[in-house]
Amino acid sequence: MKNPVKAYENIEFLNSDVCRPVRLELEYLHPETALEDHRINSTIVLFGSARIPSPEEAEACDRPKLKELAPFYEEARRFAHIVSAACQTAKGHEFVIVTGGGPGVMEAGNRGAKEAGCLSVALNIQLPHEQEPNPYVTEGLCFEFRYFSMRKMHFMARAKAFVCFPGGFGTFDELFEALTLIQTGKAPKMPIVLFGADHWKRVVDWNHLAECGLIAEKDLDLLTFCDTAVEAWRAISDFYAKHGYAVGEKDV
């Protein structure tokens, strides 16, 4: 008779329905413990499409409309570099870039932070079509989730701003989750910056929603539109300066 397998070493048992609460708790504890160990106090969440090509990939892109969005990769990379260089110090790590960990805009965010010599986090998700983490995430700060709910919770947990580049259903899901939580007071008010003013105002008629009474006029103030990394960082810096909170040691 074989020795019995310990419960916490029994993978089949841990993957069973009865252990769902245990898996949820582990998906909370694992990233939380790692971020505390790395002294990550606050984050900026960077969302955007996995399909937007990098400059190295843009020439081979055979979809003209998608290729037109390629400059957003460089702006995401530049933004992450600016924020990381300004806010990560020997005293602690503030406004650390967090992405979904995939390619495209997410890769650009992790890449910009790494090129600044700084930490960045990836909250990847288990999908039917495998999404491999990009190579620029800080070692020990790349996490793969089974549950979207726990992943979203970690996106919100330390967030001081949400920065959204053009994207598809996933980006919309994450953007409107954040907007709803802030609108309803479940999360503190913070900057929500949409990169590409023309793009976002075309895909969503925000003013129409207010004119119809579906959202309040003041809800429009939750959104900030910008087109460059410097504009985005100044908008975030100005927001926190008004609240007496210094966000970085360097000006841009």
| Residue 4 reports pLDDT greater than 80 | yes
Alpha helices in the chain (DSSP H): 11-14, 20-37, 55-58, 64-68, 71-87, 105-115, 148-157, 169-183, 197-203, 206-211, 229-242
Q: Which of 127, 28, 134 is nearest to 80 (CA)?
A: 134
pLDDT in tens, 210-235: 999 999 999 999 999 999 999 999 99
* pLDDT of 1: 65
Residue partners of 98: CB distance under 8 A and separation at least 6: 43, 44, 45, 46, 120, 121, 122, 123, 155, 158, 159
Distances (CA, A) of 36 to 25, 32, 214: 16, 6, 40
Closest by CA to 141, choosing from 122, 155, 159, 125, is 122
- Among 163, 151, 164, 160, which residue's Cα sits nearest to residue 188? 160
With CA atoms as reference, report the closest residue to 98 among 137, 150, 58, 55: 137
Neighbouring CB atoms inside 10 A of 132's CB total: 9
Please state, in angstroms and rounded to a whole number, the distance separating the CA atoms of residues 196 and 209: 20
Q: How far apart are the first and last CA of the chain?
A: 68
Q: Where are the domains of the chain?
A: 30-241
Q: Is the pLDDT of residue 249 over 60?
A: no
For residues 119-137, give the mean pLDDT: 87
- pLDDT the model gives residue 248: 61
Question: pLDDT value at position 247?
Answer: 67
DSSP, residue by residue, 22-45: HHHHHHHHHHHHHHHHTTB--EEE
**What pLDDT, on a 0 to 100 scale, did the predictor assign at position 69?**
93
| Cα 84 from Cα 134, distance rounded (Å) | 18
Q: In the predicted model, what is the mean pLDDT of the chain?
A: 92
Q: pLDDT by residue (tens digit) across 38-64? A: 999 999 999 999 999 998 888 888 888
pLDDT in tens, 14-39: 999 999 999 999 999 999 999 999 99
Fold (CATH) for 30-241: Rossmann fold (3.40.50)
The per-residue pLDDT for range 129-171, each reduced to its tens digit, is 656 889 999 999 999 999 999 999 999 999 999 999 999 999 9
